[in-house]
Amino acid sequence: MIALVISSGTNMAFPTIMGKVIDRTAGREDAGSRIPDKVFFAGAFGIFACGSIASWVRTYSIGVAAHRIMQRLRTKLFGRLLEQDVAFFDEHRTGELVSILTEDTEIAADTVTGKAANGMRSASSALNGSIMLLTLSPRLTLVSIALLPLVGVGAMGYSRRLKRLAARQREDAADASTFAEERLSQLRTVRAFGRERAEAQWYRELCDGSTELARRAASARGAFMGGLSASANASLVAVLYFGGSLVARGAMTVGDLASFAMYSSLVGLGFSGLSSFAADLSKGLASAERVFMLMDATPAVPLDEGLTPPLESVRGELVLEGVTFRYPSRDKDVLCGVDLRVPAGAILALTGPSGHGKSTLAALITRLYQPTAGRISLDGVDTATLSPSWLRGAVGVVEQDPVLFAGSVADNIKYGRPGASAADVEAAARAANAHQFILEFPDGYNTKVGQRGRQLSGGQRQRVAIARALLWDPPLLLLDEATSALDAESERLVRDAMEKLMDRENRTLLIIAHRQSTIQKAHTVAVLRDGRIVESGSYADLIARSGGELAALMSGGELAA
Ligand SMILES: Nc1ncnc2c1ncn2[C@@H]1O[C@H](COP(=O)(O)OP(=O)(O)OP(=O)(O)O)[C@@H](O)[C@H]1O
């Protein structure tokens, strides 16, 4: 700010100095009060030097501040996004969130730094320049600002139009980036269906919408700038015309007229800068609004609120009573009054037709969503009273189609326990039947798995995910058995790893099972159909029932061998 004031001040002194130079060389300055040339020019250059140093300091400080503000907004916002409920991500598109995280934070930071500084400089030029104009000649000042109201009206209309267009442009850009992000990350599907050209065409059409908006914004900008420059030129001509007559009558010196003309240009530039600032400000405010709307979003289930009993004391008894749930975006219950009990250390296989709510039930157990009615308890304690972070430490999850993160195999196995030793990582990998294939990679445990773990096969990914859960070693494990087709050998290795998991004592296992072999090993089997537990009991009992649900599922071929 200090540098800004100094550089603006020296800018303001420039027309006066120029006027003095003209009057000095034209011999119009009073000889009695005349400062020697050497002192005058040394002083003038001293002021210019101060101005340029201040300009450097201002540009540097503002550049650094803008970057720091942007980084802080980004890191705070990213942290905040990670805290949001899973339902929040069902409602918001990833492309939109990423563009708020990257573009809006940058625009907001630039508005309160670079743009605000330009606005202040413009305000200072307009205000101080006007004062200088009034000091030099009040009458001529009236001539020079005659067109100002017209410019003001134009600036307001321009800024309103730009704001509307910018908001629509933003929405189009978010659509396009969501589209691009999804297609690029799922390139294999695009390729499998040979849709590259069609997708490129679709993307082009999405971008074309924003090109049209950009064309309209550029046309508004062009019209405004054209009008501004015409009015600036007209008022300069008027100033020189009336000012010339004042000089001819001896009411003003040539130097003063030159200073006046320069100040009126500065005032003109100041007002044009202020109108650009108004447009930038409304764009910046819109960006800041989006950033802070996300920053202020409070998750319905805050991560760290609630009870945190000692983890060692958890036995792992899981009880669901009358659990009912409906996704916020749907108008039908997915689960309707589910009652289920898994004693500590037991293995329960939850099975049923596809799309009838099994994965949803698992999501409710870890409180990714809140049941609409009913109660889920762990060791007799209602999970709604437990801290979600604690709960997720006590309940491990192996998803149906596990995702790994870019990084090494070891990093992925250690994801839940970054401090785990290499020996622990290897033990977990061995137990998950992953050690052998990891060793076959040239870099062993340091092999990079690629984005989303795409450089590993489906079966390898699943075994790494099982190792990740084993290292996490939770008292209760939810395992969503993979339905994706694996080759026979891979499947045998995954099944073997799962069986090892099931053989471990002191752990409660809830397996969403799609295979008969898994169901046979479970202590209890529960069948979920239409969001209700329609049958439960031991495998032998259920299979012996004539007309039973499990028997129907098996004979209907809905469960693999
Ligand atoms: N995030 C979501 N938002 C809205 N509806 C959802 C969401 N996730 C799942 N559903 C719906 O909930 C229902 C149950 O889905 P769920 O994934 O729990 O089934 P599932 O029994 O695990 O199926 P599968 O055996 O094929 O994995 C489905 O009709 C599905 O369309």
DSSP secondary structure string, 227-269?
A: HHHHHHHHHHHHHHHHHHHHHHTTSS-HHHHHHHHHHHHHHHH
Ligand 1 atom closest to 363 (CA): 18
pLDDT at 28: 62
Tell the CATH topology of 2-295.
Answer: ABC transporter transmembrane region fold (1.20.1560)
CB distance 356 to ligand 1 below 6 Å: yes
Amino acid at 373: A
Which residue, judged by its Cα, is nearest atom 30 of ligand 1? 355
pLDDT at 561: 67
- What's the pLDDT band for 32 if we cut at 50, 70, 90? low
Of 63-72, 92-101, 181-190, 219-228, which one has max mean pLDDT?
63-72
C-alpha 359 to ligand 1 mean position (Å): 7
pLDDT at 487: 63
Q: Mean pLDDT throughout 165-175?
A: 83
Q: Mean pLDDT throughout 453-478?
A: 86
Which residue, judged by its Cα, is nearest atom 31 of ligand 1? 355
The runs of H, that is alpha helices, within 326-408 are: 358-365, 388-394
User: Among residues 273, 261, 198, which one has the least CA distance to residue 235?
Assistant: 261
Q: Mean pLDDT throughout 243-247?
A: 91
Angstrom distance (rounded) from CA 405 to CA 168? 34
Angstrom distance (rounded) from CA 363 to CA 369? 6
C-alpha 327 to ligand 1 mean position (Å): 9
Q: Which of 359, 370, 479, 511 to mutate to test the pocket of ligand 1 (most atoms within 8 A of CB)?
A: 359
Which residue, judged by its Cα, is nearest atom 14 of ligand 1? 357
Average pLDDT, the chain: 87
pLDDT at 221: 87
CB distance 334 to ligand 1 below 6 Å: yes
pLDDT at 460: 87
Which residue, judged by its Cα, is nearest atom 25 of ligand 1? 354
- Report whether 151 contacts 231 (CB < 8 A): yes
Is the pLDDT at 155 greater than 70, yes or no? Answer: yes
CB distance 546 to ligand 1 below 6 Å: no
% of the chain at pLDDT higher than 90: 31
CB distance 357 to ligand 1 below 6 Å: yes
- Positive or negative CA dihedral for 128, 132, 134, 135? positive
C-alpha 100 to ligand 1 mean position (Å): 29
Is the pLDDT at 86 greater than 80, yes or no? Answer: yes
- What's the pLDDT band for 58 if we cut at 50, 70, 90? very high
Amino acid at 273: G
Ligand 1 atom closest to 352 (CA): 21
CB distance 90 to ligand 1 below 6 Å: yes
- What's the pLDDT band for 199 if we cut at 50, 70, 90? very high
CB distance 87 to ligand 1 below 6 Å: no
pLDDT at 289: 92
pLDDT at 517: 78
CB distance 327 to ligand 1 below 6 Å: yes
Same fold for the domain at 2-295 and the one at 311-400+474-555?
no
C-alpha 545 to ligand 1 mean position (Å): 28
pLDDT at 82: 92
Which residue, judged by its Cα, is nearest atom 2 of ligand 1? 327
Ligand 1 atom closest to 90 (CA): 1
Q: Mean pLDDT throughout 347-363?
A: 90
Is the pLDDT at 470 greater than 60, yes or no? Answer: yes
User: Among residues 133, 132, 129, 154, which one has the least CA distance to residue 270?
Assistant: 129
Angstrom distance (rounded) from CA 235 to CA 172? 41
Domain boundaries, the chain: 2-295, 311-400+474-555
Q: Mean pLDDT throughout 468-487?
A: 78
- Report whether 335 contacts 325 (CB < 8 A): yes
Angstrom distance (rounded) from CA 504 to CA 457? 26
pLDDT at 447: 92
- Report whether 311 contacts 364 (CB < 8 A): no
ipTM: 0.95
Using CA atoms in the order 342, 343, 348, 354, what is the torsion angle rounded to 10 degrees?
0
Position with higher pLDDT, 550 vs 338: 338
CB distance 329 to ligand 1 below 6 Å: yes
510-519 pLDDT, tens digit per residue, is 989 888 878 8
- What's the pLDDT band for 413 if we cut at 50, 70, 90? very high
Ligand 1 atom closest to 362 (CA): 18
247-256 pLDDT, tens digit per residue, is 899 888 888 8
User: Among residues 467, 473, 491, which one has the least CA distance to residue 481?
Assistant: 491
- Torsion-angle region of residue 46: left (phi > 0), alpha (psi -120 to 50) or beta? alpha
Bridge partners, 12 (sequence order):
none
Among 1-10, 54-63, 161-170, 215-224, which stretch is predicted with the lowest mean pLDDT?
161-170
- What's the pLDDT band for 56 if we cut at 50, 70, 90? very high
Angstrom distance (rounded) from CA 557 to CA 419? 44
pLDDT at 87: 85
Ligand 1 atom closest to 357 (CA): 18
C-alpha 173 to ligand 1 mean position (Å): 30
Is the pLDDT at 483 greater than 70, yes or no? Answer: no
% of the chain at pLDDT higher than 70: 95
pLDDT at 484: 55
Q: Which of 327, 480, 484, 533 to mutate to test the pocket of ligand 1 (most atoms within 8 A of CB)?
A: 327
pLDDT at 233: 86
pLDDT at 164: 84
- What's the pLDDT band for 494 if we cut at 50, 70, 90? confident
325-343 pLDDT, tens digit per residue, is 999 888 899 999 999 999 9
Tell the CATH topology of 311-400+474-555.
Answer: Rossmann fold (3.40.50)
CB distance 359 to ligand 1 below 6 Å: yes
360-395 pLDDT, tens digit per residue, is 999 999 888 989 999 999 998 999 999 988 888 888
Write the CA distances from 381 to 142, 184, 371, 376, 414, integer angstroms.
80, 44, 16, 8, 29
Is the pLDDT at 319 greater than 90, yes or no? Answer: yes
Among 183-187, 261-265, 398-402, 505-509, which stretch is predicted with the lowest mean pLDDT?
505-509
pLDDT at 557: 67
Q: Which of 323, 325, 334, 514 to mutate to test the pocket of ligand 1 (most atoms within 8 A of CB)?
A: 334
CB distance 355 to ligand 1 below 6 Å: yes
